[in-house]
A and B are shown apart, each in its own frame.
Chain A
Amino acid sequence: MLVYTIKFMPEGYEAAANDGDNLLEIAMRSDVYINASCGGNGTCGKCRVKIVEGQVRAPMHSKVSREDYDAGVRLACMTTVHGNAVVEIPPESQVDRAALGRKAEIRHILSVLGDRDLMRGWGVDPAVTKLYMELKEPSADDNVSDLRRLEREFQTKYGRTDIAIDLPVLKTLNRTLREAGWKVTATVMETDRGIGIVNVEPGNTEARDYSIVFDIGTTTICAQILDLANCSVVKVAERGDNGLDLCTVAELSDYNGQIRYGDDVIARIMYSRKKGGLEKLQKALVKTMNGLIKELLGMGGIRAEDITHIVCAGNTTMTHLLLGINPKDIMLAPYTPAMTAGVSGFGASGGTERSGASGIIIPPFRAKEIGIALNEHGRLFVSPCVSSYVGGDIVAGVIGSGMFREEGISLYMDIGTNGEIVLGNRDWLMCASCSAGPAFEGGGIKFGMRAGTGAIEQVKIHPSTFEPMVLTIGKAQPAGICGSGLIDIVAGLIETGLIDQNGKFRRDCDTARVRHGEDGYEYVICYAPETTAGRDIVITEVDIDNLVRTKAAVYAGCKVLLDNAGLSYGELEKVIIAGGFGHYIDIERAQVIGLLPELPMERFIFVGNGSLLGARLFSFSKDLLREAERVARNMTNIELSNSPSFMDEFVAAMFLPHTDQDLFPGVMKRLKNSG
């Protein structure tokens, strides 16, 4: 609900804002340029504006003299709006748009779409649930065994006879039942082979039912604690607005502890072939997960024993390493993984709730069996994979995005350390993986970093002074550049003509920000005094090359997949973007660099971390777990390395935006106008 109107003078451009919105952020999203180089943390003092009228709040600041302050001068980054306002942009920040021949445009920035919308049509019905039961106390005329007593309850109350229990639960059953006065809560897990009793604990703990979900990336691991007991409440009441936070108690991420053994999956597989390598990798991963679990529990104030299960989604190599399975054949032709089925208890074919699926299923096991420090009973679920290079993270994303049940055709692209793409609808799905390189996650970029505090996330470059306007995550001191920042910067460089369409700097521009550095030509985004490391943050020609290669691989992969299906970009109803490059993606800018095809804005959806989104849904719904097995099994994998046209498409895409400029008529028009 945008309530206030903020008018930027002298152009008179009006932007809408909420109460308490930051003025610099309003300007950024409204395509209004204001000098700002410290990311919005109030140190550079360049984002001076004059408040002509209106309700704003900003503290006194050492960069603004008393006299100026009284005259209405404020730092935009320190200013929040609390009513309609008229803001004057000082001359040094003004952009002569008449000279550019274009008007201020509302930027098409997509923020992460929640799963609330995506979950429509699917009931919240987790595979692991808690059942409170009051058993009849044994007596002389009813002295059947404890287990029989439990069985009777399941039969009479739930009509279930397909129940299994294992030794660890059995061992403590008699004691628990008696100590609890026969009032207990059973944690049960539904699979295609019936239900399994996971845990029996005293009293009624139905209200304390949590799960932890993991996205296990090659570089980054993200985790959330979900409140499943509350989830059913939400389901009933149809409440909650932000889907990604739906029932989320806490969220955290950390670098994968395996990084020290190699940057990409191939390096990890190589390491796993060394003596003791596999064990080390598995331990490093579990250690990272344990660290996250501990911190999450602390953040949420949740007891470890109330976590009933864990769901993990990761690429095929990560899935193998998590389970301690040797991944070496993933790397060797003909690239056969040990398994692709998920650890879900569900099969890919047949199988109604009672009859069980045909084929092999992998029942979820105790998380502690692989070293996860949680509790005795918590079960571990793992998303199914498709092939050696299309993994459970992608399957999770396909489920999370809902594309597998749409009639229209969608293209799902996950831009992580690798680029994976899925094309199709409810009737068919095709997928491919292209070794895109980790540029969008900050890899191979001199000042690249993942999307964390201090990461430069949004950048605008002034078309005539070439000064940047920089916003960082958390408005903290700039520490590096994350994926969405990179997209903004490179798009800005090309729009202002600082680089050519081949990504090389023009050497004759009148700005000190383009200079010859230690790695060749570069553009300075932030000077040393403004940054955390006290070093200039720059983007080099080498960085741009890496970014161009990455985006070219993704674009070419999509093109080849579309060609294989006999489709063109225009026939796509939706383009779903996933990836950890930031909280936002500016679609227009991504089109300027040729990462995304030029399609109408409303066809794009940004889901952020698709893998985590899917893992969440697996925790919420056993139907989706089963769907995941089916979807993973039925997806057709196209090996791009065998595709003769891939290399050709790749070279064609190694240009900004693309060698075939007819594919980007809108971008070319804009470049012409600004150039």
Chain B
Amino acid sequence: MAFEIPKIRYTGKIEEIVVGAGQKAVRVGGSGCYPFCRFEGEMPNPPKIAFEVWDHRPEDWQEWAIEPYRDVIHDPVAWAKKSIDVYGAEMIALQLKSADPNGMDRPVDEAVKVVQDVVNAIDVPLIVWGTANDDKDADLLRKAAEVCEGKNVAIGPLSEKNYKQIGAMAIGYGQVVMASSPIDVNLAKQLNILLGNLGVPDEKVLMDPTTGGLGYGLEYTYSVIERDRMAALTQEDVKLQRPIVCNLAHEVWKTKEARLKREDDEKMGDEVKRSVLMESVAAMTLAFAGADILIMRHPESARLVKEMIGELMK
């Protein structure tokens, strides 16, 4: 008898979720096998990269991170358009950093105005990422859901504390939600159950498992995504059969290793190459674990990751 590669028998399938509207809407999820294990099952949608755009000029970015966006970094709409037109972004992730109460604490209305401007200016799907402050987001993301009516955007993060307020608006305006839980498979599932009880349809939920940067807890995220996928695909845990979004750019780029210049420490080598690789490796690792949407910063790292995903999907 000829040798046969042992195969995993899958019993579940990840929900396929559409983000965005119109021709450039994106499908994520839908897998019936572990990531890239296409010899075992279907993987209809490769992981997607969302380019991050901040709602306000970033204060503490490295020069080499600003460089690709220097001409547009003061203007979220132009920034988003450049990411799409020049760098080929398939999705935009708008980070509402300026509304953070621990930072600039810009009023909700101002931040929502940015959301409205961006969503109306682009034709690719939009992800609206809040401040991760439960109370502020409850207000901010509700209004964001409202102004994006008809655009089928993804809004989040929703926590156990504010899922109701945001979830109810998302149902009303037909948006996708991103359910966020602190690196724990049970907590992730609990929030999905609560969203289900609230009436959010299964095909409108993405999971955010909380992302650690490379060298700063990535392995925890890796293993929790892995467990989410095992439960979803082999243990028929329907409440975990949701695509996963990883907001990784911020986590990678804020680290010391992504900031140090060659002149600070010769051993660390070229800073641009180093930080681009750190972002790419983090993104690829998460894709291997099971991430479906990767929120990234540098066009070069995005290009590398897209190329590698393309190779793996051949």
Contact = CB atoms under 8 A, between A and B. Distances in A.
B8 interface: no
B45 interface: no
Interface in A242-280: none
A124 B143 CA distance: 75
Contact of A659 (B160, B189, B197): B189
B193 A651 contact: no
B11 interface: no
Nearest to B227: A648
A651 B187 contact: yes
Nearest to A506: B164
Contacts of A675: 197
A500 B186 contact: no
Contacts of A661: 193, 239
Contacts of A502: 160, 190, 194
Interface residues of B, number: 11
Contacts of A325: none
6 contacts: A500-B197, A501-B197, A502-B160, A502-B190, A655-B193, A659-B189
A494 to B, nearest CB: 11
**Centre residue among B184, B185, B197 by max chain A CB count within 10 A:** B197
Contacts of A654: 186, 190
B300 to A, nearest CB: 39
A502 B181 CA distance: 14
Contacts of B160: 502
A500 B189 CA distance: 14
Interface in A645-675: 648, 651-652, 654-655, 659, 661, 675
A56 B83 CA distance: 83
**Centre residue among B184, B190, B197 by max chain A CB count within 10 A:** B190
Interface of B: 160, 184-187, 189-190, 193-194, 197, 239
B241 to A, nearest CB: 14
Nearest to B165: A507
Contacts of B239: 661
Contacts, number: 27
**Centre residue among A500, A501, A648 by max chain B CB count within 10 A:** A500
A651 B194 contact: no
B186 A501 contact: no
Interface string A494-525: 00000011100000000000000000000000
Interface of A: 500-502, 648, 651-652, 654-655, 659, 661, 675
Contact of A501 (B185, B187, B193): B193
Say what secondary structure dominates the interface of chain B: helix
Contacts of B190: 501-502, 654-655, 659
Contacts of A501: 190, 193-194, 197
Contacts of B197: 500-501, 675
A501 B198 CA distance: 11
A500 B184 contact: no
B75 to A, nearest CB: 39
A501 B189 CA distance: 12
A652 B194 contact: no
Contacts of B187: 651
A221 to B, nearest CB: 38
A655 B190 CA distance: 7
A659 B185 CA distance: 10
Contacts of B185: 648
A667 to B, nearest CB: 13
B94 to A, nearest CB: 29
B226 to A, nearest CB: 14
A502 B193 CA distance: 10
Which 3 pairs between the two chains have the least Cβ-Cβ distance? A652-B186, A651-B186, A659-B186
B184 to A, nearest CB: 6
Nearest to A497: B197
A285 B244 CA distance: 57
A183 B170 CA distance: 92
B230 to A, nearest CB: 13
A659 B193 contact: yes
A429 B14 CA distance: 43
B186 A648 contact: yes
A502 B187 CA distance: 10
A655 B239 CA distance: 14
Nearest to A661: B193
Nearest to A650: B186
A659 B190 CA distance: 6
B158 to A, nearest CB: 13
Given A651-B187, A654-B190, A659-B189, 9 more contacts: A501-B190, A501-B194, A648-B185, A648-B186, A654-B186, A659-B186, A659-B190, A659-B193, A661-B239
B145 to A, nearest CB: 18
Nearest to A649: B186
A501 B196 CA distance: 11
Contacts of B189: 659
Contacts of A648: 185-186
**Centre residue among A502, A652, A661, A675 by max chain B CB count within 10 A:** A502
Contacts of B194: 500-502
**Centre residue among A652, A655, A659 by max chain B CB count within 10 A:** A659
A533 to B, nearest CB: 32
A655 B160 CA distance: 12
A283 B185 CA distance: 49
Contacts of A652: 186
A651 B182 CA distance: 12
A347 to B, nearest CB: 46
Nearest to B160: A502
A659 B194 CA distance: 10
